[in-house]
Structure 1
């Protein structure tokens, strides 16, 4: 398939709309928000009003382009043009927290929560990772014990994107025995007695994304907030991971794209020994290799998205795509900083931020090592 075969005219309209939103509402403030370590909560409402948060979700809840995965791809790519992975991750935390609610929550809960989140009036987060083990989801420790018409939840979560400001949290808890068969999902709301949020965590990159620890101390959650069947949450988490890994691959490819664009601009404008540095063969060939690696990674990612869009299982391939994309982004952001030299090391340079922000992409959503375990298992090893 060519680029045009993945994206049609409606996707171009999505791109144009999101691009205008980024230019109008994000680019003027993004550098200040990065330094401040957060972006205005009002941006969620603006993105909701512009229809951006609802892309890919059902119209009856305030969404549009339901089931159109490449509309979502186009949205993700255009948002990343703001140059802040943290802002995109924070604004998009609904895409990992909301799908289980949409698919499996009781109608009364779903019908209340989903429209509020898609409109940007409320913020959604996913809470799976724990201090005792990041990628080892099957052995999570947060316990939920049934007590009449409530669960009593005790435990903690960490590295939660939008954790400080979220209103709703899709939380993975243990309701049964050990292993994956004892895990459930609960919708827990900000302000629930026994639930508290820790201080914002300071990170290497993604500065504009609020990241937090969550604490549950005998937190009473209504049984009606159970998402799906009890002890069946692991399957929901794994299904969610496939979309998250696609999203991270897209972010990595766009991080690499921005790094390449910055490198090309610098190579054309910067002069040394009387001519643009892009005229030197060593740099010309490096840029050619950067472009080649990015093109291969992007095409492979799009191919897996196309298969996902028609319902095919790509457990192995999307893990491969995430690893390939993050490897390419590692190299291109490194090369961009090297090519720009001293300017590439300055905070005023976009490539400096891209280099920092990129590092989380091969860790989040399942580390590179976990991806290789999944690939090997799918190969029968």
Structure 2
């Protein structure tokens, strides 16, 4: 059952109620089949856009809701609890809009943001490359200026929504000056010279397409440069800091769903003449799962509140991502254990939750990288 929340306004309470209705009626009934068939839920993102859920933290001027990150993340959590692929997709789309919302000109924002936030345009965030994952500053996809265009050549890897998105917020190299030589382009999916490789064959999140994006002399108009040349790496890191909170919220939603399933099963499953929830071994397992979920939720919400107050939150975002995704892995593993043999079958969703939890420890910066970020923050670097 949904956890009790302390929301800042009645408007936020109504929004979360709407989100739960959509999650219950429009997302949860489709999740298992879509994941089993690896079907991308494009229409569900349009539904979120029509419902006003794709632009919650962005200004109302461009179709957003201007809501605090604290509220937005609780919406992400509810959606992820119903269908993880859609929750992750919402987080990725929000991150993909960040460079435009933050550093785009008013002309660029007027032109693109309304359709992005309204659900007509779905985004992808193209930073990683096969040799530049954790070491993002080593990216080599190059954009050469040619008159009024940039000519882009290279390959982006592990792109969520790759081949399905309508736009790609793409980090490219415009000079050889290390991290200061990286710029950000807003690339239309229909750009000649841009194509998607076959989707990756993943152990989980199979409804969320992940693919390499191939740039073969793709011509991108120079008016799609976001910010100035050389500002792309800072924009990328700033977007990731907020995106990590989105993944933390997704992980908590997934863990909450696993806990709910485990509790429901333990209540109705009987052995030796009583429900297994009454056995101390199961009681303690469920109690530890609940503690992990509640602690992870509190961690991401505190980081969000710091962001909303304009305080530094890089360390807190890394901690939230680390704590929440490790918790999701433990909780989903234990949920399978509570269900026993049944949990290892596809008759129950906990085996899918376990497969989906693993990647949360990897994307948006592995949890080893989160420890590096936290340690550097502690050192004052």
TM above 0.5? yes
1:180 & 1:67 partners in 2: Cα distance?
32
Superposition deviation, residue 297 in structure 1? 2.0
1:44 & 1:55 partners in 2: Cα distance?
14
Structure-1 residue corresponding to 2:74:
74
Alignment of 1:147-296 (within 5 A): 147-296=146-295
Q: Is the 8 A contact 2:91 2:243 kept in 1?
A: no
Structure-2 residue corresponding to 1:51:
52
Superposition deviation, residue 354 in structure 1? 0.7
Superposition deviation, residue 313 in structure 1? 0.7
Change in Cα spacing, 1:343 to 1:4, as seen in structure 2 (3 Å) is closer
| Runs of 4 or more above 3 Å deviation | 3-8
2:293 & 2:121 partners in 1: Cα distance?
36
Structure-2 residue corresponding to 1:28:
29
The count of aligned residue pairs is 378
Superposition deviation, residue 345 in structure 1? 0.9
Question: TM-score, normalised to structure 1's length?
Answer: 0.95
User: For residues 214-255 of structure 1, what are the alpha-carbon distances to aligned partners after superposition, in whole Å with 9 as ceiling and x for unaligned?
Assistant: 011111111111010101111111111111111111111121
Structure-2 residue corresponding to 1:19:
20
2:27 & 2:293 partners in 1: Cα distance?
26
Unmatched 5+ residue regions in structure 1?
none
Q: Is the 8 A contact 2:79 2:253 kept in 1?
A: no
2:192 & 2:231 partners in 1: Cα distance?
26
Specify the SS of the correspondent of 1:60.
Answer: helix
Q: Is the 8 A contact 2:88 2:250 kept in 1?
A: no
Moved more, 38-47 or 298-307: 38-47
Specify the SS of the correspondent of 1:141.
Answer: coil
Change in Cα spacing, 1:24 to 1:285, as seen in structure 2 (3 Å) is closer
Superposition deviation, residue 309 in structure 1? 0.9
Structure-2 residue corresponding to 1:124:
123
Superposition deviation, residue 92 in structure 1? 4.1
Superposition deviation, residue 154 in structure 1? 0.7
Alignment of 1:331-342 (within 5 A): 331-342=330-341
Give yes or no for the alignment of 1:322 onto 2:321: yes
Specify the SS of the correspondent of 2:285.
Answer: helix
Structure-1 residue corresponding to 2:141:
142
Specify the SS of the correspondent of 2:208.
Answer: coil
User: For residues 122-168 of structure 1, what are the alpha-carbon distances to aligned partners after superposition, in whole Å with 9 as ceiling and x for unaligned?
Assistant: 21111001011212111111011111211111100111111111111
Specify the SS of the correspondent of 1:152.
Answer: strand
Moved more, 194-203 or 332-341: 194-203
Q: Is the 8 A contact 2:77 2:87 kept in 1?
A: no
2:222 & 2:127 partners in 1: Cα distance?
19
1:325 & 1:99 partners in 2: Cα distance?
23
Specify the SS of the correspondent of 1:202.
Answer: coil
Q: Is the 8 A contact 1:197 1:215 kept in 2?
A: yes
Change in Cα spacing, 1:280 to 1:40, as seen in structure 2 (3 Å) is closer
Question: TM-score, normalised to structure 2's length?
Answer: 0.95
Change in Cα spacing, 1:69 to 1:91, as seen in structure 2 (3 Å) is closer
Change in Cα spacing, 1:254 to 1:304, as seen in structure 2 (3 Å) is same
Unmatched 5+ residue regions in structure 2?
none
Q: Is the 8 A contact 2:160 2:211 kept in 1?
A: yes
Q: Is the 8 A contact 2:41 2:207 kept in 1?
A: no
- CA-based RMSD of the aligned residues comes to 1.7
Structure-2 residue corresponding to 1:356:
355
1:12 & 1:164 partners in 2: Cα distance?
36
Structure-1 residue corresponding to 2:300:
301
